[in-house]
Amino acid sequence: MSSLLPAADAKRDAALVAAVDQAREAAVEEAGADVVGEHLAVVMEGERLATHTFTCLNPAYVGWQWAVTLARAPRAKVVTVTEVVLLPGPEALVAPAWVPWSERVEPGDLSAGDVLPTAVDDARLVPGMTGQDDLEGVSSAAPLQPGQWEIGLGRVRVLSPIGRDDAADRWVEGDFGPNAPMAKQAALECSTCGFLLPMNGAMGQQFAVCANEMSPADGHVVALTYGCGAHSEAMIAPQTEPEPGSVESAEAAVEAVAPDVEVSEIEVVTAESDEPASEPEPAAETD
């Protein structure tokens, strides 16, 4: 069985390699005789530096190994124990690699009262400086135009092109993008919907905000190529019905009662006529 420790190109030292019993005694002294098992291997870690490994018999550390490192001074025959540690073997059960909290946090994890700091060098942000980006897309005729904006009074940082691209990719692939199941079954796109609130700036070329309370996207940023069944132009054409008393209404009633009878064979009396239908003239007598 090979040791977990990497093999070195150092020359094998006969004294260190042969000091198996001394290494075992060091492991027993450190952990106890009941948890130190068979000798597994010896590896030269460097010049006059070797490590012996032994099986760990502790049931809580199955697959682990006791590693005892020995050293010898130049031109000396005395072997010295430098370190005794417990290391995981190839089949040991170990904890997963540690991941920093900044990489563990995912969208949706933030709750009320939590604070999620943003890194100083976050690639999604760039210095705001003059606040020029705050004014981007704001119409000069709009009442929200901050005419008193001065140099240095803008936001400290604003979205960088990387931040905008990341957001655009997220929104396109999200629940309100063109690939969403709702959008694939919709006949009309948001770009032609009257409930659409346009966005200014670069993002307005591809996205807007839905303002239809009946839509699942109400209050959300939607792609212009998104769509749902609550589109403003998704209307049912009104069905025209004949007026009561008209010839068309009477014909429809006749067809409903006697579909096999020609309309011309039945005398129709409209509601607008007060006179009774004339009786058919008797047939002329023949000689």
What pLDDT is attached to residue 244? Answer: 64
Distance CA 70, CA 46 (A): 11
Q: Strands (DSSP E) along the chain, which ranges?
A: 36-46, 49-56, 64-72, 79-88, 125-127, 157-159, 196-198, 207-210, 221-223
Beta bridge partners of 197: 209
Is the pLDDT score of 54 beyond 90?
Answer: yes
| Distance, CA of 24 to CA of 36 (rounded, Å) | 8
Q: What is the pLDDT of residue 133?
A: 55
Helix (H) or strand (E) holding 191: none
> Which residues lie below 8 Å from residue 234, measured CB to CB, with a gap of 6+?
187, 188
Beta-carbon neighbour count of residue 56 at 10 Å?
Answer: 24
What does the alpha-carbon distance between residue 168 and residue 207 come to, in Å, rounded to a whole number? 8
Of the ranges 46-55, 100-109, 231-240, the best mean pLDDT one: 46-55
Question: Is residue 149 a contact partner of residue 138, using CB atoms and an 8 Å limit?
Answer: no
What span, in angstroms and rounded, lies between the C-alpha atoms of 39 and 24?
8
Mean pLDDT of 117-144: 64
Average pLDDT over residues 180-187: 91
**Least confident interval from 31-45, 80-94, 151-165, 194-208:** 151-165
Closest CA to 228 of 160, 286, 282, 176: 176
Query: What is the rounded distance in angstroms from the CA atom of residue 69 to the CA atom of residue 16?
Result: 9
Q: DSSP letter for 277, please.
A: P
How long, in residues, is the chain? Answer: 287
β-partners of residue 157 are 127
> Please, are residues 79 and 22 in contact by the beta-carbon 8 Å criterion?
yes
Tokens encoding 159: 């979205």
Strands 64-72 and 196-198: unpaired
Q: Which of 3-12, 73-82, 106-115 has the lowest mean pLDDT?
A: 3-12
User: Which CATH number among 1.10.1740, 2.60.120, 3.10.450, 3.90.1520 corresponds to the domain 14-88?
Assistant: 3.10.450
pLDDT at 242 over 50: yes
Mean pLDDT score, 140-164? 63
- The rounded mean pLDDT for the chain is 79
Name the one residue in this structure whose structure tokens are 């009878």.
261
Tell me which of 11-20, 68-77, 257-266 is least confident: 257-266
Residue type, position 146, single letter: P
- Residue 252: both structure tokens together: 């429809």
The Cα–Cα gap between 119 and 160 comes to: 14
Poorest-pLDDT segment among 108-117, 184-193, 210-219: 108-117
> pTM for the whole thing?
0.47
